Amino acid sequence: MSRKNKNKKSLAEKADKYSLYQQSVQSPEHEVEFFVQAYKDAYRKNPTMLREDFCGTFAICCEWVKLKNSNQALGVDLDPEPLDWGRQNNLAKLTTSQQKRVRLVEQDVRKRNRPQADVLAAQNFSFWIFKTRAEVVEYFKIARSNLKSQGIMVMDMMGGSDCFIEDHTDKRTIVKGRKGFKYYWYQARFDPISHDTSFYISFKFPDGSKLKNAFEYHWRFWSTPEIQEMLAEAGFRESHVYWEETDEDGEDTGEFLKVDTAENAPSWISYIVAVK
Ligand SMILES: C[S@@+](CC[C@H](N)C(=O)[O-])C[C@H]1O[C@@H](n2cnc3c(N)ncnc32)[C@H](O)[C@@H]1O
């Protein structure tokens, strides 16, 4: 092998894991649209102040301030690495006026901050890191106090029998072609007693190279009724489930509607909205 080839980096070595993550699992435009819809459902007016707990690269904060000139966002995460990546890549793409309306704090989400928010979002199942009822209720109580008197907390949930299959991988092509990549969601473990679960995200590239276990999560698999009971225990006045609407062919439409009951599905994603 020539020196030149030896020094050539694989696509995995050159890849940026946060960029791949955002392209694979996030859709901030849809998220912020949903937050406005859910807030209007609760209070018949528009929200302006967003708090994004577990914000990582805070893509949602950045999308929020783009939506309206009066919108402000507070992003909270305890890891400086994704926050720095977000500053260099997401915040840098905003106008100066938009940048001024994003505030970031490197801290535990279980801290009180001012100003209080209209919408507090905890996305991508992040609060499942809290594995006991006591921890979740404590977090929900603090989250509630971080909301204005008219505020909502929004979190996403996943479920369905497919989620409990161990040693199971879901694969999606995110970008096609020579410059593309594939996304792998690996469900490694599910303990039926404790509901302890482990998930891993990996990426594979057209040259065959892999970014294995770029992200890993060790969570408790919580259910919808448990979360709604804990929200009530933490003092939220009510909570609602928003379920994804399907078209006449049974395909997901990307629209979420408030429901009291839903048809069982092998794999689903929903939102829970708690009203202060
Ligand atoms: C699954 S990632 C979610 C990132 C982003 N919210 C998203 O939707 O893709 C979880 C994030 O939560 C952060 N995190 C975990 N525990 C935390 C805590 N107690 N307080 C603040 N951030 C925490 C991690 O640093 C990580 O960035």
Digit-by-digit pLDDT tens for the chain (276 residues) are: 445 556 689 999 999 999 999 999 989 999 999 999 999 999 999 999 999 999 999 999 999 999 999 999 999 999 999 999 999 999 999 999 999 999 999 999 999 999 999 999 999 999 999 999 999 999 999 999 999 999 999 999 999 999 999 999 999 999 888 889 999 999 999 999 999 999 999 999 999 999 999 999 999 999 999 999 999 999 999 999 999 988 888 788 889 999 999 999 999 999 999 999
DSSP class of residue 101 equals T
Residue 1 pLDDT: 47
Identify whether residues 68 and 194 lie together within a single domain. no
Instruction: Report CA 83 to chain centroid distance, whole Å.
Output: 15
Q: Is 131 helix (H, G, I), strand (E, B) or coil?
A: coil
Ligand 1 center–CA 165 separation, angstroms:
25
- Answer whether 56 contacts ligand 1 (Cβ < 6 A): yes
Ligand 1 center–CA 201 separation, angstroms:
15
Radius of gyration of the chain (CA): 20
Tell me which of 219, 234, 259 is where a domain ends: 219
Hey, how many other C-beta atoms are within 10 angstroms of the C-beta on 203? Answer: 23
Q: Is 133 helix (H, G, I), strand (E, B) or coil?
A: helix
Identify whether residues 268 and 135 lie together within a single domain. yes
Instruction: Report CA 56 to chain centroid distance, whole Å.
Output: 9
In-domain check, residue 4: no
Q: Is 224 helix (H, G, I), strand (E, B) or coil?
A: helix
- Answer whether 90 contacts ligand 1 (Cβ < 6 A): no
Identify whether residues 121 and 69 lie together within a single domain. yes
Which atom from ligand 1 is nearest to the alpha carbon of 122? 6
Which residue's alpha carbon is at the smallest distance from atom 27 of ligand 1?
A: 56
Which residue's alpha carbon is at the smallest distance from atom 9 of ligand 1?
A: 124
Tell me which of 182, 200, 219 is where a domain ends: 219
Strand order across the beta sheet in which 252-259 lies:
102-106, 72-77, 49-53, 117-122, 147-159, 268-275, 238-246, 252-259
Q: State how many domains the chain has.
A: 2
Which residue's alpha carbon is at the smallest distance from atom 18 of ligand 1?
A: 108
- Answer whether 78 contacts ligand 1 (Cβ < 6 A): yes
Identify whether residues 60 and 140 lie together within a single domain. yes
Residue 5 pLDDT: 59
Which residue's alpha carbon is at the smallest distance from atom 4 of ligand 1?
A: 56
In-domain check, residue 110: yes
Residue 194 pLDDT: 96
Q: Which residues contact 83 (CB under 8 A, 6 or more apart)?
A: 55, 56, 57, 58, 75, 77, 104, 106
Residue 226 structure tokens: 């448990």
Identify whether residues 25 and 71 lie together within a single domain. yes
Identify whether residues 215 and 229 lie together within a single domain. no
Ligand 1 center–CA 54 separation, angstroms:
3
Ligand 1 center–CA 77 separation, angstroms:
6
Which residue's alpha carbon is at the smallest distance from atom 26 of ligand 1?
A: 56
In-domain check, residue 2: no
In-domain check, residue 12: no
Which pTM does this prediction carry? 0.94
Please choose from 19, 54, 128 the residue to mutate so as to test ligand 1's pocket, defined by most ligand atoms within 8 A of CB: 54
In-domain check, residue 56: yes
